């Protein structure tokens, strides 16, 4: 029996009472602060319609530290815990304090309900949620010792996630710097036999058409072949129909909507939204991908439409040099992918244990 189980058995063996959040904590509407009132380098962060991105800073605060906000407009439903004092604008509610509750405990519990809050938005005019939506949410109210033990356990898991996120950010920065360095060629110091050519992306890649574009209704949740489309996630579904797929190979994929070039190695079908599917006729596909990514970061002329993207100039050193550069970057990319996979697993683990820790509430 762990410490939490012992505490529950000792202090609430008959279960935990549930109350409406508004019965134990005041739900306060923030006070409007316009962008013109913000102060560069102010003492306090200002939160408005986003839990992740402060509106700016200000030299006064209207909410103390150890406080939870629930966003009511913009990023509706977002829940954030603020360790330090801050200014809450009218795009968010901030929750008061009570001797009966540990605010971090409330944060961990109600952060499970972000989608629920968002689903309760009132349409017409500016979408928002009413104060009553937050006030009426039922929460468990175990003794403080139980709340504190749950907070201790979830804090430890959150810290592991935060450390991985910091490491991932640093690795990505290192990768970008190293890639840019490898892609910087100086013909003045390069032997004539190894000097590079510069070719436009449209010259060294041909656009190929898929057998068919699958409609959203045809996507499967599981299947043999991935369906590729624009969006945050490259793979949007699966299909079992090989007749709709392109053959196994290396491809560059450009989306006008996402304004980005991605690399894919394998056999796939194209989704409804449509990507430009590029197949190199010169150079290594993965090398070209790294080169285009370098251009995207450095260039201020990067445009949304393919008519401009195809004019991107790519440096083409000899194949041996391309292979060497690609091999070095692949190793770094693999390390980043491993950290991303570990972070994904940690997040799943956190959500699983958070739900387990709150089982008594059900």
Could you tell me the two tokens for 232?
Answer: 């945050």
Neighbours of 207 (CB within 10 A): 12
Could you tell me the two tokens for 173?
Answer: 């920065």
Residues 29 and 112 in one domain: yes
Could you tell me the two tokens for 6?
Answer: 């012992």
Residues 126 and 24 in one domain: yes
Residues 120 and 71 in one domain: yes
Number of domains present in the structure of the chain: 3
Q: Is 214 helix (H, G, I), strand (E, B) or coil?
A: coil
φ, ψ for residue 253 (rounded to 5)? -125, 125
Structural domain boundaries enclosing 118: 17-141
**Of 141, 157, 186, at which residue does a domain stop?**
141
Residues 161 and 310 in one domain: no
Residues 241 and 304 in one domain: yes
Q: What is the pLDDT of residue 360?
A: 62
Residues 279 and 204 in one domain: yes
CA distances from 47 to 92, 121, 137, 152 (A): 7, 19, 22, 26
Look at residue 301 and tell me whether its pLDDT is greater than 60: no
Q: Is 242 helix (H, G, I), strand (E, B) or coil?
A: helix
By the 8 A CB rule, do 228 and 275 touch? yes
Q: What share of the chain is helix, strand, coil (3-state, %, to 5)?
A: 40, 25, 35
Residues 25 and 95 in one domain: yes
CATH number at residue 65: 3.90.220.20
Task: Give me the helix-helix angle, 285-298 and 319-357, nearest 10°.
Answer: 70
pTM of the entire structure? 0.76
CATH number at residue 348: 1.10.287
**Of 107, 126, 141, at which residue does a domain stop?**
141
Residues 276 and 235 in one domain: yes
Cα 100 vs. chain centroid, distance in angstroms? 34
Look at residue 211 and tell me whether its pLDDT is greater than 70: yes
**Of all helices (H) and strands (E), which one includes residue 240?**
none
Q: What is the pLDDT of residue 187?
A: 63
Residues facing residue 95 across a β-bridge: 27
Residues 137 and 163 in one domain: no
Residues 26 and 88 in one domain: yes
**Of 300, 316, 332, at which residue does a domain stop?**
316
Residues 33 and 98 in one domain: yes
Report the chain's mean pLDDT, rounded to a whole number: 88
CA 228, CA 215: separation in Å to the nearest integer? 12
Which residue shows structure tokens 């994904």? 344
φ, ψ for residue 155 (rounded to 5)? -60, -45
Arithmetic mean of pLDDT, 174-198: 80
Residues facing residue 260 across a β-bridge: 255
Residues 278 and 257 in one domain: yes
Encode pLDDT of 58-96 as tens digits. 999 999 999 999 999 999 999 999 999 999 999 999 999
Encode pLDDT of 100-131 as tens digits. 999 999 999 999 999 999 999 987 778 899 99
Neighbours of 149 (CB within 10 A): 21
Look at residue 313 and tell me whether its pLDDT is greater than 50: yes
The C-alpha R_g of the chain, in whole angstroms, comes to 26
Residue 325's nearest CA partner among 358, 291, 298, 280 is: 291
By the 8 A CB rule, do 240 and 265 touch? no
- Percent of the chain residues topping a pLDDT of 90: 65
């Amino acid at each position: 029996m762990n410490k939490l189980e012992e505490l529950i058995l000792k202090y609430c063996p008959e279960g935990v009472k549930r109350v409406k959040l508004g019965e134990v904590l005041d739900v306060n509407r923030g006070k409007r602060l316009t962008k013109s009132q913000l102060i560069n380098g102010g003492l306090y962060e200002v939160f408005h319609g986003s839990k992740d991105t402060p509106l700016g800073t200000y030299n006064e605060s209207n909410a103390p530290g150890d406080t939870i906000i629930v966003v009511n407009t913009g990023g509706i439903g977002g829940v954030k815990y603020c360790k330090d004092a801050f200014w809450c604008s009218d795009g968010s509610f901030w929750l008061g304090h009570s001797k009966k509750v540990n605010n971090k405990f409330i944060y961990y519990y109600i952060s499970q309900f972000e989608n629920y809050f968002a689903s309760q938005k009132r349409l017409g005019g500016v979408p928002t949620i009413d104060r009553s939506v937050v006030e009426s949410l039922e929460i468990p109210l175990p003794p403080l010792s139980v709340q504190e033990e749950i907070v201790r356990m979830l804090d430890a898991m959150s810290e592991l996630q935060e450390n991985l996120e910091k490491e991932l950010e640093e690795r990505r920065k290192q990768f970008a710097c190293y890639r840019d360095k490898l892609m910087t060629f100086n013909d003045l110091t390069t032997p004539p036999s190894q000097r590079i050519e510069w070719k436009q992306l449209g010259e060294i890649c041909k656009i190929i058409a898929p057998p068919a574009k699958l409609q959203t209704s045809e996507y499967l949740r599981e299947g043999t072949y991935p369906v590729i489309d624009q969006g945050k996630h490259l793979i949007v579904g699966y299909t079992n129909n090989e007749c709709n797929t392109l053959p196994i190979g290396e491809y560059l994929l450009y989306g006008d909507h996402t304004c980005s070039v991605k690399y894919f190695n394998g056999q796939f079908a194209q989704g409804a939204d449509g990507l430009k599917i590029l197949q190199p006729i010169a150079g290594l596909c993965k090398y070209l991908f790294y080169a285009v990514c370098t251009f995207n970061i450095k260039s201020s002329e990067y445009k949304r439409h393919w008519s401009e993207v195809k004019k991107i100039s790519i440096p083409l050193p000899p194949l041996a040099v391309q292979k060497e550069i690609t091999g070095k970057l692949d190793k770094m990319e693999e390390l980043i992918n491993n950290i991303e996979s570990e972070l994904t697993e940690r997040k799943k683990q956190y959500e699983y244990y958070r739900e387990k820790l709150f089982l008594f509430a059900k």
